[in-house]
Copies of this chain bind each other. A is one copy, B any other.
Amino acid sequence: MPTTIGNNRRLVALAAEKKNMVEVCFKPAGRKVWVQGGSTLLEAAEEAGIAVRSECGGEGICGKCKIIVKDSDVANEVTEAEMKHLSRLEINSGYRLACRSRIWRDATVMIPFESRLITREFQVGGLEKTVDLSPAVNKFYVCLPEPTLSDVRSDLQRLIDVLSHQSPDTSKLDIDYRILRKLAKILRDADWKVTITVWHNRRIIAVEPGDTSDKLFGLALDVGTSKIVAHLVNLMTGETTSAVAVENPQTTHGEDIVTRLAFGADEVSLRKLQKLSIQGINKLIQEACVNARVDSNSIYEVVAVGNTAMHHLLLAVQANYLALSPFAPVVKRLTSVPNNSLNTNLRQTSMITFLPIIAGFVGSDTIADALTTGIHESNELSLLIDIGTNTEVLVGNSDDIISCSCASGPAFEGAHIKHGVKAVRGAIEKVQIDSNSKVHYSTIGNTRPLGLCGSAMIDIVASMFKSGIIDDRGRFKDRHIPRIQRDIGEKEFVIVSKEETATSREITVTQKDINEIQLAKAAIFAGCSILTKRKDIELRDLDRVFIAGAFGNGINLENARLIGLIPDLPIKKVTFVGNAAISGAKIALVSKKARDTANILSKRIRYCEITLEPDFKTEFAHAMFIPHKDLSRFPSVKEMLKGV
């Protein structure tokens, strides 16, 4: 096992000598770590707490974990996998894949910018909705009568009797056992003046000396496959006081759900995955509290949402069967556990509530999407598309809602795209290619470009199609365009030359990248199409479309429609709602009623396993075209193409 070096550096060094351990120094952070000789550099980086990109979970498949090793003789020889992912120039410059290089001697390792997981400036917010403030946690400042020989009620009864004057129903009130243990001293030290925090009129989760009734915070959490978002909410006012996000640290064990579920098949690895996501949550707690100058002890409840896999993994519920047909979840219902079951850095007695889920691949994030957009409250027929590593689709209204999950893959999040990045600072988010193949772009944060995020890929494919660079099958046309070049036989289109980029390497879009986007959008469109069919409606019957997802400042809806990602409807019917999941989690955090709604939705929303639908293959194949094989389904695009 690797060992982190602390203050007792000499002692560790001594131990290291004996146990064949080596010291690795990671640049530019300068962080040092001791690991067992023979560990991979990916393991060493994890031990050092440095997040290195890895989509395949260290299998040598994705090629994203590029690092530079200063001396070549400290590690094993370059492997075949590395030959495949690294250019000759890179290999000569010391580039390695972190997951393939095993380190045998002390080494200095440089992590290039593009391999670092950047944990800030994620999109953290979504559509906000006004809801009545009725949180599940409430505080009551009370002065208790002291026990006397003529009043020897128990300490607990004394508390409950006083509460009964202020709280609606105390008949089912219980107390957290950890508080009961200390209650006698708390009350007497506080001279019988205490603030009691009650959860759901059911459970006393805090008894604090004095009047702390003005300090009542909750945390909304959206635990995504690739990132975790937290909003700190003042439960007295409903105001969001801080919004933060972090890469899901589980990502080092695979960017996609299936890899992670496979990794977590045994108890030890499951606990490891749980610990990693809790580490991420702890970072968020700290950051949110610092930002808002709030003591983390003032956070009494967390409402978490996430896809079913993230939900199960965070609870350390055995989830490997989720990846196997028929993909049954272990638990669907709303689940609340005291924090001591998860051991985040909140008070032990805080409650953590997971909203209910819908199915194995449609999680509580989708329930939260519904809470945010209110599609279950409206007579209008709505389509909701939450684009992520898996894309969830809802179709329906107050009468009935049907859901599905589309295996869109993480292409819209920048993965599986040669120069793809998430919607972080430096990501190109908007692109326009004019008729002369000139490229106009803008980046998040207006810095030098780092790579292409999902919204840029939509723009690029749309622009290339519109300007005739690619055909309706996404293939580069056989035209001479200066910006098209070949790399190892594959055609690619240069978006930004190396002189302009942050990495000093050009940013291109390859034939494969375009196909990845086609695969992703085809999966999503097929889902939308099949769900509407199952509801016996046409896509054009839809009154509203909501697009949710981590697209920075949003996506160009015309372009999304042009490539056939969303149905051909008037753009005014389409709304980009950003991270609707975190907004929905917040709604449930501040409103008990919304939790009841979530429970109802969890039971009511039907689930459709679209891959089993007989028309799925055809729908998918037709949707691979740009915008679609059947142009009659995209009349506005058909019209536009006429003008080209």
Contact = CB atoms under 8 A, between A and B. Distances in A.
Given A317-B181, A319-B184, A153 B331 contact: no
A157 B333 contact: yes
Nearest to A175: B331
A215 to B, nearest CB: 25
B332 A181 contact: no
Nearest to A318: B184
A208 interface: no
A152 B327 contact: yes
A330 B149 contact: no
A15 interface: no
Contact of A154 (B315, B318, B332): B332
A329 interface: yes
Contact of A155 (B153, B175, B316, B328): B328
Interface string A136-170: 00000000000111011111111000000000000
Interface size on A, as a range, is 35 or more
A181 B316 contact: yes
A344 to B, nearest CB: 15
Contacts of A148: 326
A180 interface: yes
Given A181-B318, A337-B177, A341-B177, A156 B331 contact: yes
Q: How many copies does the complex hold?
A: 2
A612 interface: yes
Interface string A181-203: 11111001000000000000000
Nearest to A178: B341
A329 B181 CA distance: 12
Interface in A589-624: 607, 609, 612
A325 interface: yes
A157 B317 contact: no
A391 B147 CA distance: 23
Nearest to A157: B332
A320 B155 CA distance: 13
Contact of A333 (B156, B337, B359): B156
A181 B326 CA distance: 19
A263 interface: no
Given A181-B318, A317-B180, A317-B184, A149 B332 contact: no
A321 B152 contact: no
Given A147-B326, A181-B315, A316-B181, A152 B188 contact: no
A388 interface: no
A152 B360 contact: yes
Contacts of A320: 184
Residue in A319, A328, A341 whose Cβ sees the most chain B Cβ within 10 Å: A328
Contacts of A612: 149
Contacts of A321: 184, 188
Residue in A320, A330, A331 whose Cβ sees the most chain B Cβ within 10 Å: A330
Given A181-B317, A188-B321, A318-B182, A609 B149 contact: yes
Contact of A152 (B155, B318, B607): B607
A562 to B, nearest CB: 35
Given A147-B326, A188-B321, A331 B180 contact: yes
A330 B155 contact: yes
Contacts of A188: 321
Contacts of A158: 328
Nearest to A183: B330
A622 to B, nearest CB: 24
Interface string A300-336: 0000000000000001111111000111111111010
Interface in A423-480: none
Contact of A325 (B149, B177, B341): B149
Nearest to A357: B154
Given A181-B317, A184-B317, A315-B181, A329 B149 contact: no
Nearest to A603: B157
A122 B113 CA distance: 75
Given A152-B359, A175-B331, A180-B315, 17 more contacts: A149-B326, A149-B609, A151-B326, A152-B326, A152-B327, A152-B328, A152-B360, A153-B328, A154-B328, A177-B341, A180-B335, A181-B315, A183-B318, A183-B331, A184-B317, A184-B318, A185-B318
Top 5 closest A-B pairs, CB basis? A147-B328, A154-B332, A184-B318, A149-B326, A156-B331
18 contacts: A147-B326, A147-B328, A152-B328, A152-B359, A152-B360, A152-B609, A154-B328, A154-B329, A157-B333, A158-B328, A180-B335, A181-B315, A182-B318, A184-B317, A184-B319, A184-B320, A184-B321, A184-B330
